Amino acid sequence: MKRPLVYMSRCFGFEKCRYDAETVTDEFIESLKSKVDVIHECPETAIGLGCPRSPIRIVRKYGAPVLFQPETGLYFTEKMTEFAKNYAEKLANVDAFILKAKSPSCGAGNVKYYDFMTGMIINEIHTGFFTAEILKRFPDALVTDELLLAIPQERELFLSRLFKD
């Protein structure tokens, strides 16, 4: 039986690449690593953001979402979108993506959205910029995050779809 190929966010124990220079420890994801072939990346460090770094956010500016770093006033929308498109084009035969929840780059539908002028959270939830490109390129792939995988029914569904053969 062919081992599934799973993309995992690099912060899941591969490298201290989060904005706070830490990793994310997840027992289930750690146990899964030995049962699948893994590829990993950190989109934020891949576009040149350091570690540690000031957090980035998705903000609404003039009605459109942009990737913004409030502390520096810098925008990363174009860099992240270009990286995500190029990275996704190089991927082949990926069976699943396990992404970092709530991340402005990797979050899958659970990322806070802020108003640029006020800094207040808008009552909308968005997908991270990297994940948006992944979803376009791999519409049939399994896409999840560590928060969903913590729910027993979601984890069981994910595993049954991943190891379906």
Tens-digit pLDDT profile for residues 70-99: 999 999 999 999 999 999 999 988 999 999
Residue 104 CB neighbour total at 10 angstroms: 30
Question: Average pLDDT for residues 130-145, to the nearest whole number?
Answer: 94
What average pLDDT does range 32-43 have in this prediction?
97
Q: Which residue from 49, 32, 39, 156 is spatially nearest to 103, judged by alpha carbons?
A: 49
Average pLDDT of the chain to the nearest whole number? 94
Please tell me what DSSP assigns to residue 28. Answer: H
pTM of the model: 0.93
Instruction: Residue 37: give the domain boundaries.
Output: 5-52+76-102+127-162
Please check whether residue 110 lies inside any domain of the structure: no
Task: Dump strand ranges (E) for the chain.
Answer: 5-9, 37-41, 57-61, 64-69, 74-75, 96-99, 111-115, 121-126, 142-145
- The pLDDT of residue 165 is 63
72: helix, coil or strand? coil
Half-sphere exposure of 36 (CA within 13 A, CB side): 22
Q: What is the CATH number of the domain that holds 97?
A: 3.40.50
Angle at 71 between CA 69 and CA 73, to 5 degrees: 60
Number of domains observed in the structure of the chain:
1
Q: Do the domain assignments include residue 156?
A: yes
40 part of a folded domain: yes
Q: How far apart are CA 10 and CA 39, in angstroms?
A: 9
Q: How confident is the model at residue 67 (pLDDT cuts 50, 70, 90)?
A: very high
Is residue 71 in some structural domain? no
Record the tokens describing residue 66, joined without a space: 């942009």
